[in-house]
Structure 1
Amino acid sequence: MAPPSYVSFVPKRVLGKFMHVTDQPLKRPGGKSLVYFMGAGFCPFCAAERWAIVKALERFGKWEGLVEDKSAGHDEKYLNVPTFNLARAKYASDAVEFAGKETADRNFEPLQELDDKDYEILDMYNPDQMIPFLLIDGQYMQVGAGYSPELIQNMTHDKVKAELGNPNSAIGKAINAEIDNITALICKATGGKGSACNSDSVKALTAKL
Protein backbone atom coordinates (compact mmCIF):
# COMPACT_ATOMS: atom_id res chain seq x y z
CA MET A 1 0.00 0.00 0.00
CA ALA A 2 1.72 3.17 -1.15
CA PRO A 3 1.26 6.21 1.10
CA PRO A 4 -0.83 8.97 -0.43
CA SER A 5 0.72 12.19 -1.57
CA TYR A 6 -0.32 15.21 0.46
CA VAL A 7 1.84 17.63 -1.50
CA SER A 8 -0.11 20.81 -2.30
CA PHE A 9 -3.34 19.16 -1.16
CA VAL A 10 -5.51 21.03 1.30
CA PRO A 11 -8.17 18.87 2.97
CA LYS A 12 -11.66 20.28 2.67
CA ARG A 13 -15.05 19.38 4.05
CA VAL A 14 -17.32 17.83 1.45
CA LEU A 15 -20.41 16.05 2.81
CA GLY A 16 -21.49 16.35 6.43
CA LYS A 17 -18.36 15.99 8.52
CA PHE A 18 -16.42 14.10 5.85
CA MET A 19 -13.16 15.61 4.69
CA HIS A 20 -11.55 15.11 1.28
CA VAL A 21 -7.97 14.41 2.37
CA THR A 22 -6.24 13.18 -0.79
CA ASP A 23 -6.90 12.49 -4.45
CA GLN A 24 -5.07 9.16 -4.32
CA PRO A 25 -7.43 6.19 -3.97
CA LEU A 26 -6.64 3.35 -1.59
CA LYS A 27 -7.65 0.27 -3.56
CA ARG A 28 -7.66 -3.38 -2.60
CA PRO A 29 -6.68 -6.35 -4.83
CA GLY A 30 -9.28 -6.69 -7.54
CA GLY A 31 -9.85 -2.96 -7.66
CA LYS A 32 -12.38 -2.83 -4.83
CA SER A 33 -12.74 0.40 -2.88
CA LEU A 34 -11.80 0.09 0.78
CA VAL A 35 -14.13 1.24 3.55
CA TYR A 36 -12.23 1.18 6.84
CA PHE A 37 -13.72 1.73 10.29
CA MET A 38 -12.21 1.84 13.76
CA GLY A 39 -14.39 2.09 16.83
CA ALA A 40 -15.04 0.67 20.26
CA GLY A 41 -18.08 -0.91 21.84
CA PHE A 42 -18.31 1.54 24.74
CA CYS A 43 -18.22 4.60 22.45
CA PRO A 44 -21.66 6.20 21.87
CA PHE A 45 -20.51 8.11 18.78
CA CYS A 46 -19.22 4.86 17.29
CA ALA A 47 -22.57 3.27 18.09
CA ALA A 48 -24.44 5.99 16.21
CA GLU A 49 -22.15 5.91 13.17
CA ARG A 50 -22.41 2.12 12.80
CA TRP A 51 -26.09 2.44 11.83
CA ALA A 52 -25.12 4.57 8.84
CA ILE A 53 -22.17 2.35 7.93
CA VAL A 54 -24.19 -0.86 8.08
CA LYS A 55 -27.15 0.54 6.16
CA ALA A 56 -25.02 2.25 3.50
CA LEU A 57 -22.95 -0.86 2.87
CA GLU A 58 -26.13 -2.95 2.58
CA ARG A 59 -26.74 -1.01 -0.63
CA PHE A 60 -23.57 -2.47 -2.17
CA GLY A 61 -23.36 -5.96 -0.68
CA LYS A 62 -24.41 -8.27 2.12
CA TRP A 63 -23.59 -8.58 5.81
CA GLU A 64 -23.35 -11.81 7.74
CA GLY A 65 -22.91 -12.21 11.47
CA LEU A 66 -24.11 -8.77 12.51
CA VAL A 67 -24.92 -8.74 16.22
CA GLU A 68 -27.12 -6.14 17.88
CA ASP A 69 -25.37 -4.39 20.74
CA LYS A 70 -25.41 -1.22 22.85
CA SER A 71 -22.78 1.28 23.85
CA ALA A 72 -21.64 1.58 27.46
CA GLY A 73 -24.20 1.94 30.21
CA HIS A 74 -21.97 4.19 32.31
CA ASP A 75 -19.02 6.61 32.17
CA GLU A 76 -19.93 8.07 28.77
CA LYS A 77 -21.84 11.23 27.81
CA TYR A 78 -24.59 9.22 26.11
CA LEU A 79 -25.56 5.78 27.38
CA ASN A 80 -26.97 2.54 25.97
CA VAL A 81 -26.97 3.71 22.37
CA PRO A 82 -28.30 0.83 20.25
CA THR A 83 -25.86 -0.33 17.62
CA PHE A 84 -24.21 -3.32 15.97
CA ASN A 85 -21.09 -5.22 16.91
CA LEU A 86 -18.92 -5.50 13.81
CA ALA A 87 -16.11 -7.50 15.43
CA ARG A 88 -17.16 -10.83 13.93
CA ALA A 89 -19.33 -9.58 11.09
CA LYS A 90 -18.45 -10.47 7.50
CA TYR A 91 -19.20 -8.31 4.49
CA ALA A 92 -19.27 -9.36 0.84
CA SER A 93 -19.52 -7.03 -2.15
CA ASP A 94 -18.37 -6.93 -5.75
CA ALA A 95 -17.30 -3.29 -5.47
CA VAL A 96 -16.44 -2.61 -1.84
CA GLU A 97 -14.18 -4.20 0.74
CA PHE A 98 -14.96 -3.48 4.39
CA ALA A 99 -12.24 -3.72 7.01
CA GLY A 100 -12.08 -2.44 10.53
CA LYS A 101 -11.42 -3.00 14.17
CA GLU A 102 -13.43 -2.78 17.36
CA THR A 103 -10.73 -2.08 19.93
CA ALA A 104 -12.90 -2.70 23.02
CA ASP A 105 -16.34 -3.97 24.01
CA ARG A 106 -19.16 -2.01 25.70
CA ASN A 107 -17.67 -2.86 29.10
CA PHE A 108 -14.34 -1.21 28.20
CA GLU A 109 -12.57 -4.55 27.92
CA PRO A 110 -10.04 -5.02 25.06
CA LEU A 111 -11.57 -6.75 22.06
CA GLN A 112 -9.55 -6.65 18.81
CA GLU A 113 -5.86 -5.82 18.62
CA LEU A 114 -4.59 -3.55 15.88
CA ASP A 115 -2.22 -5.19 13.39
CA ASP A 116 0.33 -3.89 10.89
CA LYS A 117 -2.33 -3.19 8.26
CA ASP A 118 -4.32 -1.12 10.74
CA TYR A 119 -1.29 0.88 11.80
CA GLU A 120 -0.37 1.48 8.17
CA ILE A 121 -3.72 3.17 7.63
CA LEU A 122 -3.83 4.93 10.99
CA ASP A 123 -0.31 6.30 10.69
CA MET A 124 -1.29 7.88 7.38
CA TYR A 125 -4.72 9.22 8.23
CA ASN A 126 -5.40 9.10 11.97
CA PRO A 127 -2.13 8.97 13.95
CA ASP A 128 -3.89 10.00 17.17
CA GLN A 129 -6.17 6.95 16.77
CA MET A 130 -9.34 8.93 17.45
CA ILE A 131 -12.69 7.10 17.28
CA PRO A 132 -14.98 6.67 15.55
CA PHE A 133 -12.81 6.79 12.46
CA LEU A 134 -14.20 6.10 8.99
CA LEU A 135 -12.10 6.14 5.82
CA ILE A 136 -13.58 5.70 2.34
CA ASP A 137 -11.28 4.80 -0.54
CA GLY A 138 -8.34 6.63 1.05
CA GLN A 139 -9.83 9.91 -0.16
CA TYR A 140 -12.58 10.74 2.32
CA MET A 141 -12.41 10.47 6.10
CA GLN A 142 -14.47 11.36 9.12
CA VAL A 143 -13.60 11.39 12.79
CA GLY A 144 -16.73 11.43 14.91
CA ALA A 145 -20.35 10.65 14.09
CA GLY A 146 -22.43 12.32 11.43
CA TYR A 147 -25.29 12.86 13.89
CA SER A 148 -25.63 12.97 17.67
CA PRO A 149 -26.02 9.66 19.56
CA GLU A 150 -28.31 11.57 21.91
CA LEU A 151 -31.05 11.08 19.31
CA ILE A 152 -31.19 7.32 19.86
CA GLN A 153 -29.77 6.67 23.32
CA ASN A 154 -31.76 4.15 25.38
CA MET A 155 -33.86 3.20 22.32
CA THR A 156 -34.48 -0.36 21.22
CA HIS A 157 -33.11 -1.53 17.88
CA ASP A 158 -36.65 -2.05 16.60
CA LYS A 159 -37.53 1.55 17.46
CA VAL A 160 -34.53 2.90 15.54
CA LYS A 161 -35.43 0.73 12.55
CA ALA A 162 -38.98 2.09 12.66
CA GLU A 163 -37.66 5.66 12.75
CA LEU A 164 -35.46 4.94 9.72
CA GLY A 165 -38.54 3.96 7.76
CA ASN A 166 -40.55 7.03 8.76
CA PRO A 167 -40.03 9.90 6.28
CA ASN A 168 -41.35 12.42 8.83
CA SER A 169 -39.07 11.32 11.65
CA ALA A 170 -36.34 13.73 12.75
CA ILE A 171 -34.27 10.75 13.87
CA GLY A 172 -34.82 8.98 10.56
CA LYS A 173 -33.87 12.09 8.59
CA ALA A 174 -30.63 12.50 10.56
CA ILE A 175 -29.51 8.89 10.16
CA ASN A 176 -30.65 8.62 6.54
CA ALA A 177 -28.72 11.78 5.69
CA GLU A 178 -25.54 10.12 6.97
CA ILE A 179 -26.39 6.89 5.13
CA ASP A 180 -26.72 8.89 1.91
CA ASN A 181 -23.44 10.74 2.55
CA ILE A 182 -21.57 7.45 2.90
CA THR A 183 -23.40 6.02 -0.11
CA ALA A 184 -22.46 9.02 -2.26
CA LEU A 185 -18.80 8.79 -1.27
CA ILE A 186 -18.74 5.09 -2.13
CA CYS A 187 -20.47 5.82 -5.43
CA LYS A 188 -17.82 8.41 -6.22
CA ALA A 189 -15.06 5.96 -5.31
CA THR A 190 -16.49 3.06 -7.32
CA GLY A 191 -17.52 5.03 -10.36
CA GLY A 192 -21.21 4.57 -9.67
CA LYS A 193 -21.33 0.82 -9.16
CA GLY A 194 -24.59 -0.21 -7.52
CA SER A 195 -28.23 0.71 -8.03
CA ALA A 196 -28.13 3.01 -4.99
CA CYS A 197 -25.94 5.38 -7.00
CA ASN A 198 -28.88 6.07 -9.33
CA SER A 199 -31.21 7.56 -6.72
CA ASP A 200 -31.89 11.28 -7.05
CA SER A 201 -30.74 12.07 -3.51
CA VAL A 202 -27.43 10.24 -3.94
CA LYS A 203 -26.85 11.73 -7.40
CA ALA A 204 -27.31 15.22 -5.96
CA LEU A 205 -24.71 14.52 -3.26
CA THR A 206 -22.25 12.89 -5.65
CA ALA A 207 -22.44 15.96 -7.89
CA LYS A 208 -20.96 18.02 -5.04
CA LEU A 209 -17.80 15.90 -4.92
Structure 2
Amino acid sequence: MARRVEQKAAARERIAAQLAAQQAAERRRRLLLAVGAVVLVVVIVGGLITIRLAGGGKKTATGASGSADASLVTALSSIPDSTFNAVGAEGVQAAPSAITAPPLTANGKPKVLYIGAEFCPYCAAERWPVTVALSRFGTFSNLGTTHSSGSDVFPNTATLSFHGATYTSQYVAFTGVETTTNEQVGNGYKPLDTPTAEDQKTFDTYNKPPYVSSDGSIPFVDLGGKFVSSGATYSPQILAGKTQTEIADALKDPSSPIAKSVIASANVYTAAICKLTNNQPAKVCSTEAVTAAAAKLGTGKS
Protein backbone atom coordinates (compact mmCIF):
# COMPACT_ATOMS: atom_id res chain seq x y z
CA MET A 1 0.00 0.00 0.00
CA ALA A 2 2.78 2.42 0.94
CA ARG A 3 4.65 1.51 -2.25
CA ARG A 4 1.57 2.32 -4.36
CA VAL A 5 1.28 5.72 -2.67
CA GLU A 6 4.93 6.42 -3.39
CA GLN A 7 4.46 5.47 -7.05
CA LYS A 8 1.48 7.85 -7.40
CA ALA A 9 3.42 10.67 -5.77
CA ALA A 10 6.34 10.07 -8.13
CA ALA A 11 3.99 10.08 -11.11
CA ARG A 12 2.50 13.40 -10.01
CA GLU A 13 5.99 14.88 -9.68
CA ARG A 14 6.92 13.67 -13.20
CA ILE A 15 3.70 15.21 -14.64
CA ALA A 16 4.33 18.48 -12.78
CA ALA A 17 7.90 18.55 -14.08
CA GLN A 18 6.70 17.91 -17.66
CA LEU A 19 4.12 20.70 -17.39
CA ALA A 20 6.74 23.08 -16.02
CA ALA A 21 9.08 22.19 -18.87
CA GLN A 22 6.31 22.69 -21.46
CA GLN A 23 5.39 26.08 -19.94
CA ALA A 24 9.03 27.17 -19.95
CA ALA A 25 9.36 26.12 -23.58
CA GLU A 26 6.19 28.03 -24.50
CA ARG A 27 7.53 31.16 -22.78
CA ARG A 28 10.80 30.86 -24.69
CA ARG A 29 8.89 30.43 -27.98
CA ARG A 30 6.78 33.53 -27.35
CA LEU A 31 9.83 35.53 -26.36
CA LEU A 32 11.64 34.52 -29.53
CA LEU A 33 8.59 35.47 -31.63
CA ALA A 34 8.36 38.88 -29.94
CA VAL A 35 12.07 39.55 -30.40
CA GLY A 36 11.83 38.43 -34.01
CA ALA A 37 8.93 40.80 -34.66
CA VAL A 38 10.82 43.72 -33.15
CA VAL A 39 13.90 42.92 -35.22
CA LEU A 40 11.76 42.70 -38.36
CA VAL A 41 10.20 46.10 -37.68
CA VAL A 42 13.62 47.62 -37.05
CA VAL A 43 14.94 46.15 -40.29
CA ILE A 44 11.97 47.44 -42.30
CA VAL A 45 12.10 50.93 -40.79
CA GLY A 46 15.85 51.06 -41.22
CA GLY A 47 15.50 50.02 -44.84
CA LEU A 48 12.91 52.70 -45.51
CA ILE A 49 15.11 55.34 -43.88
CA THR A 50 18.08 54.20 -45.95
CA ILE A 51 16.05 54.40 -49.16
CA ARG A 52 14.76 57.84 -48.21
CA LEU A 53 18.21 59.16 -47.39
CA ALA A 54 19.69 57.66 -50.53
CA GLY A 55 16.90 59.10 -52.66
CA GLY A 56 15.93 55.64 -53.82
CA GLY A 57 12.75 54.84 -55.67
CA LYS A 58 10.79 56.99 -58.08
CA LYS A 59 10.92 60.70 -57.25
CA THR A 60 7.34 61.88 -57.02
CA ALA A 61 5.64 64.94 -55.64
CA THR A 62 3.41 64.85 -52.60
CA GLY A 63 0.56 67.04 -51.45
CA ALA A 64 0.69 70.49 -49.98
CA SER A 65 2.76 70.61 -46.79
CA GLY A 66 0.38 72.91 -44.97
CA SER A 67 0.22 76.61 -44.27
CA ALA A 68 3.17 78.80 -45.15
CA ASP A 69 4.94 79.93 -42.00
CA ALA A 70 4.73 83.53 -40.86
CA SER A 71 8.29 84.37 -41.85
CA LEU A 72 7.66 83.32 -45.45
CA VAL A 73 4.46 85.37 -45.71
CA THR A 74 6.21 88.35 -44.13
CA ALA A 75 9.10 88.10 -46.58
CA LEU A 76 6.72 88.25 -49.53
CA SER A 77 4.71 91.16 -48.16
CA SER A 78 7.55 93.37 -46.95
CA ILE A 79 9.70 93.81 -50.06
CA PRO A 80 10.84 97.46 -50.06
CA ASP A 81 10.02 99.88 -52.88
CA SER A 82 13.74 100.24 -53.53
CA THR A 83 13.90 96.58 -54.54
CA PHE A 84 10.86 96.86 -56.83
CA ASN A 85 12.40 99.97 -58.42
CA ALA A 86 15.82 98.36 -58.83
CA VAL A 87 14.36 95.34 -60.64
CA GLY A 88 11.86 97.14 -62.85
CA ALA A 89 10.07 95.02 -65.45
CA GLU A 90 12.81 93.94 -67.83
CA GLY A 91 12.70 90.29 -66.74
CA VAL A 92 9.10 89.79 -67.86
CA GLN A 93 8.79 87.48 -70.86
CA ALA A 94 5.00 87.76 -71.30
CA ALA A 95 2.80 90.42 -69.71
CA PRO A 96 -1.00 90.43 -69.23
CA SER A 97 -2.97 91.67 -72.24
CA ALA A 98 -5.75 94.24 -72.10
CA ILE A 99 -9.21 93.01 -73.14
CA THR A 100 -12.63 94.52 -73.66
CA ALA A 101 -15.02 92.62 -71.39
CA PRO A 102 -17.61 93.21 -68.65
CA PRO A 103 -16.01 94.15 -65.32
CA LEU A 104 -15.04 91.20 -63.14
CA THR A 105 -16.02 92.07 -59.56
CA ALA A 106 -16.72 90.58 -56.14
CA ASN A 107 -18.27 92.33 -53.14
CA GLY A 108 -18.25 95.64 -54.97
CA LYS A 109 -14.51 95.51 -55.72
CA PRO A 110 -12.58 94.59 -58.87
CA LYS A 111 -11.64 90.93 -58.71
CA VAL A 112 -8.45 89.09 -59.62
CA LEU A 113 -9.20 85.51 -60.64
CA TYR A 114 -6.44 82.89 -60.68
CA ILE A 115 -7.11 79.37 -61.99
CA GLY A 116 -4.31 76.82 -61.91
CA ALA A 117 -3.33 73.45 -60.47
CA GLU A 118 -0.74 72.28 -57.97
CA PHE A 119 0.91 69.82 -60.39
CA CYS A 120 1.58 72.57 -62.97
CA PRO A 121 5.17 73.94 -63.02
CA TYR A 122 4.12 77.13 -64.80
CA CYS A 123 1.50 77.72 -62.11
CA ALA A 124 4.21 77.08 -59.51
CA ALA A 125 6.31 79.84 -61.02
CA GLU A 126 3.44 82.30 -61.43
CA ARG A 127 2.05 82.07 -57.89
CA TRP A 128 5.13 83.90 -56.63
CA PRO A 129 4.62 87.19 -58.51
CA VAL A 130 0.83 87.01 -58.16
CA THR A 131 1.23 86.68 -54.39
CA VAL A 132 3.87 89.41 -54.17
CA ALA A 133 1.74 91.82 -56.25
CA LEU A 134 -1.47 91.19 -54.33
CA SER A 135 0.39 91.52 -51.02
CA ARG A 136 0.94 95.20 -51.92
CA PHE A 137 -2.84 95.75 -51.82
CA GLY A 138 -3.97 93.42 -49.01
CA THR A 139 -3.21 90.43 -46.80
CA PHE A 140 -3.21 86.68 -47.39
CA SER A 141 -4.19 84.16 -44.72
CA ASN A 142 -3.63 80.38 -44.82
CA LEU A 143 -1.39 80.34 -47.86
CA GLY A 144 -0.18 76.83 -48.49
CA THR A 145 3.17 75.49 -49.64
CA THR A 146 3.54 72.77 -52.24
CA HIS A 147 5.53 71.96 -55.35
CA SER A 148 4.82 70.96 -58.91
CA SER A 149 4.65 67.37 -60.11
CA GLY A 150 7.81 65.32 -59.92
CA SER A 151 7.07 63.74 -63.31
CA ASP A 152 6.40 66.90 -65.35
CA VAL A 153 8.83 69.39 -66.87
CA PHE A 154 10.65 71.53 -64.29
CA PRO A 155 9.89 68.83 -61.67
CA ASN A 156 9.19 69.65 -58.03
CA THR A 157 9.26 73.42 -58.46
CA ALA A 158 8.77 74.86 -54.97
CA THR A 159 5.78 77.15 -54.71
CA LEU A 160 2.76 78.33 -52.76
CA SER A 161 -0.83 77.10 -52.97
CA PHE A 162 -4.01 79.17 -53.01
CA HIS A 163 -6.10 76.18 -51.93
CA GLY A 164 -7.85 77.16 -48.70
CA ALA A 165 -6.24 80.61 -48.66
CA THR A 166 -8.18 83.83 -48.04
CA TYR A 167 -7.36 87.36 -49.07
CA THR A 168 -8.42 90.63 -47.46
CA SER A 169 -8.12 94.05 -49.12
CA GLN A 170 -10.01 97.33 -49.23
CA TYR A 171 -9.03 97.75 -52.88
CA VAL A 172 -9.40 94.44 -54.68
CA ALA A 173 -10.90 90.95 -54.28
CA PHE A 174 -9.10 87.72 -55.09
CA THR A 175 -10.21 84.18 -55.94
CA GLY A 176 -7.55 81.48 -56.20
CA VAL A 177 -8.59 78.12 -57.65
CA GLU A 178 -6.31 75.06 -57.61
CA THR A 179 -8.19 72.49 -59.69
CA THR A 180 -5.99 69.50 -58.77
CA THR A 181 -3.26 68.45 -56.37
CA ASN A 182 0.15 67.24 -57.55
CA GLU A 183 -0.73 63.63 -56.63
CA GLN A 184 -1.12 61.41 -59.67
CA VAL A 185 -4.26 59.30 -60.03
CA GLY A 186 -4.16 57.14 -63.14
CA ASN A 187 -3.36 59.40 -66.08
CA GLY A 188 -4.34 62.58 -64.23
CA TYR A 189 -4.13 64.23 -60.82
CA LYS A 190 -6.34 64.15 -57.75
CA PRO A 191 -9.12 66.79 -57.97
CA LEU A 192 -9.03 69.71 -55.53
CA ASP A 193 -10.96 72.96 -56.07
CA THR A 194 -13.94 73.40 -58.39
CA PRO A 195 -14.43 76.83 -60.00
CA THR A 196 -17.84 78.44 -59.65
CA ALA A 197 -19.99 78.44 -62.77
CA GLU A 198 -19.22 82.14 -63.23
CA ASP A 199 -15.46 81.68 -62.87
CA GLN A 200 -15.52 78.69 -65.21
CA LYS A 201 -17.34 80.80 -67.80
CA THR A 202 -14.68 83.51 -67.48
CA PHE A 203 -11.97 80.90 -67.98
CA ASP A 204 -13.70 79.33 -70.99
CA THR A 205 -14.44 82.68 -72.62
CA TYR A 206 -11.16 84.55 -72.23
CA ASN A 207 -8.55 81.81 -71.97
CA LYS A 208 -8.29 81.39 -75.75
CA PRO A 209 -7.35 83.42 -78.83
CA PRO A 210 -7.67 86.27 -79.55
CA TYR A 211 -7.50 87.18 -75.86
CA VAL A 212 -4.43 85.04 -75.17
CA SER A 213 -1.98 83.27 -77.43
CA SER A 214 -2.96 79.69 -76.58
CA ASP A 215 -6.19 77.86 -75.84
CA GLY A 216 -6.95 76.73 -72.28
CA SER A 217 -3.49 77.09 -70.75
CA ILE A 218 -2.88 77.40 -67.03
CA PRO A 219 -2.22 79.37 -65.00
CA PHE A 220 -4.97 81.73 -66.13
CA VAL A 221 -5.28 85.14 -64.48
CA ASP A 222 -8.10 87.59 -65.14
CA LEU A 223 -7.58 91.02 -63.61
CA GLY A 224 -10.95 92.71 -63.21
CA GLY A 225 -12.08 91.90 -66.74
CA LYS A 226 -9.53 94.39 -68.07
CA PHE A 227 -6.42 92.23 -68.40
CA VAL A 228 -5.79 88.50 -68.84
CA SER A 229 -2.70 86.36 -68.64
CA SER A 230 -2.26 82.71 -69.60
CA GLY A 231 0.85 80.71 -68.82
CA ALA A 232 3.90 81.87 -66.87
CA THR A 233 5.50 85.30 -67.31
CA TYR A 234 8.99 83.79 -66.81
CA SER A 235 10.60 80.35 -66.94
CA PRO A 236 10.14 77.99 -63.96
CA GLN A 237 13.75 76.93 -64.56
CA ILE A 238 14.78 80.03 -62.60
CA LEU A 239 13.44 78.35 -59.43
CA ALA A 240 15.02 74.91 -60.01
CA GLY A 241 16.38 73.25 -56.88
CA LYS A 242 15.26 76.03 -54.54
CA THR A 243 13.04 75.76 -51.47
CA GLN A 244 10.28 78.23 -50.67
CA THR A 245 12.52 79.90 -48.09
CA GLU A 246 15.42 80.17 -50.53
CA ILE A 247 13.15 81.72 -53.15
CA ALA A 248 11.80 84.25 -50.65
CA ASP A 249 15.34 85.07 -49.48
CA ALA A 250 16.47 85.62 -53.08
CA LEU A 251 13.82 88.31 -53.49
CA LYS A 252 15.80 90.48 -51.08
CA ASP A 253 18.59 90.77 -53.63
CA PRO A 254 17.48 92.72 -56.73
CA SER A 255 20.49 91.41 -58.65
CA SER A 256 19.54 87.74 -58.19
CA PRO A 257 18.00 85.91 -61.19
CA ILE A 258 14.97 84.97 -59.07
CA ALA A 259 14.29 88.57 -58.04
CA LYS A 260 14.77 89.79 -61.60
CA SER A 261 12.05 87.37 -62.75
CA VAL A 262 9.58 87.24 -59.84
CA ILE A 263 9.66 90.92 -58.88
CA ALA A 264 9.62 92.07 -62.50
CA SER A 265 6.44 90.05 -63.06
CA ALA A 266 5.01 91.32 -59.77
CA ASN A 267 5.60 94.89 -60.96
CA VAL A 268 3.60 94.21 -64.12
CA TYR A 269 0.76 92.58 -62.15
CA THR A 270 0.83 95.54 -59.77
CA ALA A 271 0.52 97.96 -62.68
CA ALA A 272 -2.50 96.04 -63.99
CA ILE A 273 -4.17 96.02 -60.56
CA CYS A 274 -3.54 99.77 -60.22
CA LYS A 275 -5.59 100.21 -63.41
CA LEU A 276 -8.47 98.48 -61.58
CA THR A 277 -8.20 100.51 -58.37
CA ASN A 278 -7.86 103.96 -59.94
CA ASN A 279 -4.23 104.01 -58.85
CA GLN A 280 -4.96 103.31 -55.19
CA PRO A 281 -3.12 103.11 -52.91
CA ALA A 282 -1.03 105.93 -54.28
CA LYS A 283 2.06 104.86 -52.33
CA VAL A 284 2.11 101.69 -54.46
CA CYS A 285 0.71 102.83 -57.79
CA SER A 286 2.80 105.99 -58.09
CA THR A 287 6.16 104.27 -57.65
CA GLU A 288 8.75 104.41 -60.40
CA ALA A 289 8.65 100.66 -61.02
CA VAL A 290 4.87 100.42 -61.34
CA THR A 291 4.68 103.42 -63.66
CA ALA A 292 7.33 101.89 -65.92
CA ALA A 293 5.73 98.41 -65.77
CA ALA A 294 2.44 99.78 -67.07
CA ALA A 295 4.09 100.17 -70.46
CA LYS A 296 4.61 96.39 -70.55
CA LEU A 297 0.89 95.62 -70.43
CA GLY A 298 -0.33 94.17 -73.71
CA THR A 299 -2.58 95.95 -76.17
CA GLY A 300 -6.34 95.53 -75.96
CA LYS A 301 -8.21 92.63 -77.54
CA SER A 302 -11.94 92.14 -77.90
- Shorter chain as denominator, the TM-score bin is 0.7 to 0.9
Considering only aligned residues, what root-mean-square deviation do their CA atoms show, in Å?
1.9
Alignment of 1:1-209 (within 5 A): 16-22=94-100, 24-30=102-108, 32-74=109-151, 76-107=152-183, 108-126=189-207, 128-194=215-281, 195-206=283-294
Amino acid at match of 1:25: P
Write out per-residue CA displacement over residues 34-71 of structure 1, whole angstroms, 9 at most, x where no aligned residue.
Answer: 10000000000000000011111000000000111111
Write out per-residue CA displacement over residues 80-107 of structure 1, whole angstroms, 9 at most, x where no aligned residue.
Answer: 1111110100000001100131110111
Write out per-residue CA displacement over residues 97-154 of structure 1, whole angstroms, 9 at most, x where no aligned residue.
Answer: 0013111011121111233122221232126542110110111111100110011022
Number of equivalent positions = 194
Amino acid at match of 2:176: G
Misfit runs of 4+, over 6 Å: none
What CA distance in whole angstroms lies between the structure 2 residues aligned with 1:46 and 1:208? 21
Conservation of the 8 A alpha-carbon contact between 1:187 and 1:206: no
TM-score by length of 1: 0.86
Higher helix share: 2
What CA distance in whole angstroms lies between the structure 1 residues aligned with 2:289 and 2:195? 36
What CA distance in whole angstroms lies between the structure 2 residues aligned with 1:187 and 1:82? 28
What CA distance in whole angstroms lies between the structure 1 residues aligned with 2:128 and 2:289? 19
Deviation for aligned residue 1:167: 1.5
Larger radius of gyration: 2
Greater mean deviation of Cα atoms: 124-133 or 97-106: 124-133
What is the percent sequence identity of the aligned residues?
36
Deviation for aligned residue 1:24: 4.5
TM-score by length of 2: 0.61
